Amino acid sequence: MEQRDGPAIPRRFGDYLRSMGPGIVIALTWLGAGDLVDSAVSGGNYGYALMWAMALALFVRFVFVSIIAKYQLCNQHGESVLAGLRRIHPGFPIFVGLLALVFGHGYGSFSVKGAGETTAGLLGLDSAGFWDETFSFVWVLVAFLIVFRGVFDRVEKAAYLLLGLLSVSLIGVALWAGPNPVAASKGVFLFAVPEQQGSFGVFLVVTSLIGAVGGSIANLLYPYFIEQKGWRGPQYRRLQLYDLAFGTLVVVILNFSVWTVGAEVLHPRGLTINDLSDLTKLLTEVLGRLGGPIFYLGAFAALFSTMVGNATGYGYMLTDIARNRRPLPEQRADPSKLSESWIYRAVAAWCLFSPLVWCLPGMPTFVTLTIVVNAATVIVLPVLAAGIWYVTASEKCIGAQYKNRWWENGLMACLFVLACWGSWKAFLEVAASLPFETVFTN
């Protein structure tokens, strides 16, 4: 594979820390409404009993994304992951692109709606109606100004700022609520399946967790972020693994923080939540007048970071697909030019502005949108897992030197089986949850 010039390879621990960035951007893209709501609902309804699902989902995500990144960095053709999937069938990237448009809108539906709600709640304004819609529109405009030019350095700086807000807010509220490490450990290792509590079935919550935390199509955004960082070639593989591990650790800590709030504040009182305002009102009552606003601040940071990350990542992805739609490229397109395309800007606008329709009166609640959309993402995970497995195991795609070893193929086989199980369960649960008189309630 051709070696390209790029950033210096770190040699010391401090150099590695300073070099990281894509892992934080993708972590905050993943850590949106899905993690907040699913972790809060799971902790509130089931205590720590379902923490095994979050641990499983995080393991799945790290393995899956690590193998995706290996193809991006090490394949013998110097091509993107989506160009590699085109080697399976020319229609494969087009299928992924259509999914990106659907789920770019879907993720935006609850992120945009939630950003408006959290801002109104943080300012103590009426959290239903005019103010929610107004703030949602304002934050969409701000996000579009950040991502319009597609400058990754700008997105990276925004991610670090939002990470600071998230850390102070969510970790602070979790420590205030008082975590129970023993109960959390039992929840991770005992694989309990409790009886249904609250409005959402236990398997719907589990599959939504896999979708929100384990992810599906959003995992394909990470290669574009590492490419924008200038990491091109196998020499960056170790740095990429450390970067992804650090990003995953951030997700672990912040997810556990939100889960602790649900398990320690909601669960002992036998309470469930139907909207973010329910949780923040309770936090204010239990933890004092600062409890709710602090959580609102963290929730906003998570939601806004998802808006920015999704719009940027899907913009890169659709532009890459469009540029590689004809002859199979032997060299990837210049990544520095992706954001200069009208396609990038059109997709970013779609991901940000089209979800505003869900802010209109009579639309589903924020929590319902989050649970259902994240569970729905699991349905397509087997197709993506099979495609990634093929291109990373095939010598003609990735090359003889970096093709999957036996244990990597074993992990991908387990992931594929898990994806099939999760997809079937998600289909059943989403179908069961979709009578419109149930979903379209406030």
Instruction: Bin 198: left if φ > 0, else alpha if -120 < ψ < 50, else beta.
Output: left
Q: Which residue has the higher pLDDT, 104 or 420?
A: 104
Check pLDDT > 50 for residue 1.
no
Give pLDDT, residue 191: 67
Check pLDDT > 80 for residue 272.
no
In a domain, 235, yes or no: yes
Q: What's the rounded Cα separation, in Å, for the pair 401 and 351? A: 38
pLDDT tens by residue, 274-323: 666 666 666 666 666 777 787 788 788 888 988 999 999 999 999 999 88
Check pLDDT > 80 for residue 213.
no
Give pLDDT, residue 187: 80
Check pLDDT > 70 for residue 356.
yes
Confidence grade of residue 439 (pLDDT, cut at 50, 70, 90): very low
Number of domains the chain contains: 1
Calculate Rg over the CA atoms of the chain.
Answer: 21
Give pLDDT, residue 209: 56
pLDDT tens by residue, 152-199: 888 888 888 888 888 888 788 788 778 888 888 888 887 666 665 555
In a domain, 401, yes or no: yes
Give pLDDT, residue 155: 85
Question: Please, how many CA atoms are within 13 Å of residue 96, restricted to the half-sphere of its CB?
Answer: 36
In a domain, 10, yes or no: no
Print the domain residue range for 248: 20-439
- In this structure, what CATH number is given to the domain that contains residue 243? 1.20.1740.10
CB atoms within 10 A of CB 357: 13
pLDDT tens by residue, 223-261: 999 998 989 899 999 999 999 999 988 888 888 888 887
Distances in whole angstroms, Cα of residue 154 to Cα of each of 21, 147, 149, 309: 11, 8, 9, 11
Give pLDDT, residue 264: 81
Is the CB of residue 225 less than 8 Å from the CB of residue 152? yes
In a domain, 4, yes or no: no
Give pLDDT, residue 277: 67
pLDDT tens by residue, 94-130: 999 999 999 999 889 888 988 888 888 888 776 566 7
pLDDT tens by residue, 14-48: 888 788 889 889 888 877 666 666 677 777 777 78
Q: What's the rounded Cα separation, in Å, for the pair 276 and 262? A: 12
Q: Which residue has the higher pLDDT, 379 or 106?
A: 106
Q: What's the rounded Cα separation, in Å, for the pair 412 and 399? A: 18
| Reported pTM | 0.84
Check pLDDT > 80 for residue 328.
no
In a domain, 236, yes or no: yes
Question: Please, how many CA atoms are within 13 Å of residue 263, restricted to the half-sphere of its CB?
Answer: 25
Q: Which of 128-132, 161-165, 198-202, 418-422 has the lowest mean pLDDT?
A: 198-202
Give pLDDT, residue 123: 83
